[in-house]
Structure 1
Amino acid sequence: MTTDERSRPAQRQSEIAEHVLAHGSVSAADLAEMFHVSLMTIHRDLDELERQGVVRKFRGGVSSQPSSVFESNVAYRMRAAHQEKQALARHARDLVEPGMAIMLDDSTTTLELARLLTDITPLTVVTNFLETIKLLTTNPGIRLISLGGEYYPTHDSFLGVPCIEAIESVRVDVLFASTSAVSGEYAYHQEQEIVLVKRAMMRSAQRSVLMVDHTKLRRVALHRHAHVTDFDRIITDDQATEAELADLAEHGARYEVAS
Structure 2
Amino acid sequence: MKYEKDDEVQTAPAVPAAPAVLPAPAVLAALDGLTPEARRAELTRYVAERTTAKVEELAERFQVSAMTVHRDLDVLARAGLVERIRGGARAIPRHLSERDVRLRTGTRSAQKEALALAASALARDGDIVAFDDSTTVAAMCPHIAVRRPSAVITHSLGVMHRLSRDHPDITLVGLGGQYYPETDSFLGAVVVDQITRVFADVAFLSTTSLRNNALYHPDAEAALTKRALVMMAERKVLLVDSSKFEVKNGLYLVVDLAAFDDVVVEATLPAEHRAQLERLDLTVHYVPAT
Q: Secondary structure at the match of 2:285?
A: strand
> What residue identity is the alignment partner of 2:225?
V
Q: Which moved more, 1:244-253 or 1:156-165?
A: 244-253
Does the Cα contact within 8 Å between 1:184 and 1:247 map onto a contact in 2? no
Q: Secondary structure at the match of 2:182?
A: coil
Q: Secondary structure at the match of 1:117?
A: helix
Instruction: Render the CA deviation track for 1:56-99: whole Å, top value 9, x for unaligned.
Output: 9989xxxx9x98xx221111110111111111111111112331
Instruction: Render the CA deviation track for 1:16-38: whole Å, top value 9, x for unaligned.
Output: xxxxxxxxxxxxxxxxxxxxxxx
Map 1:20-169 → 2, pairs under 5 A: 70-138=97-165, 139-169=167-197
> What residue identity is the alignment partner of 2:268?
Q
Write out the 4+ residue segments of structure 1 that deviate beyond 3 Å after TM superposition: 56-59, 250-254
Map 1:214-253 → 2, pairs under 5 A: 214-220=242-248, 221-253=250-282
Does the Cα contact within 8 Å between 1:167 and 1:200 map onto a contact in 2? yes
Larger RCO (alpha carbons 8 Å, 6+ apart):
1
Deviation at 1:120, TM superposition (A): 2.8
TM-score by length of 1: 0.71
> What residue identity is the alignment partner of 1:231?
F
Match of 1:191 among 219, 225, 244: 219
Does the Cα contact within 8 Å between 1:93 and 1:116 map onto a contact in 2? yes
Distance 1:57 1:227 in 2: 25
Distance 1:72 1:90 in 2: 24
Aligned length, in residue pairs: 198
After superposition, the CA RMSD in angstroms is: 2.4
TM-score by length of 2: 0.63
Q: Which moved more, 1:90-99 or 1:147-156?
A: 90-99
Deviation at 1:247, TM superposition (A): 2.2
Does the Cα contact within 8 Å between 1:121 and 1:141 map onto a contact in 2? no
Instruction: Render the CA deviation track for 1:130-180: whole Å, top value 9, x for unaligned.
Output: 110000113233100000101001110011221111111101100000110
Q: Secondary structure at the match of 1:103?
A: strand
Q: Secondary structure at the match of 1:72?
A: coil
Does the Cα contact within 8 Å between 1:199 and 1:225 map onto a contact in 2? yes
Q: Which moved more, 1:216-225 or 1:151-160?
A: 216-225
Structure 1: stretches of 5+ with no match in the other structure: 1-55
Structure 2: stretches of 5+ with no match in the other structure: 1-80, 85-92
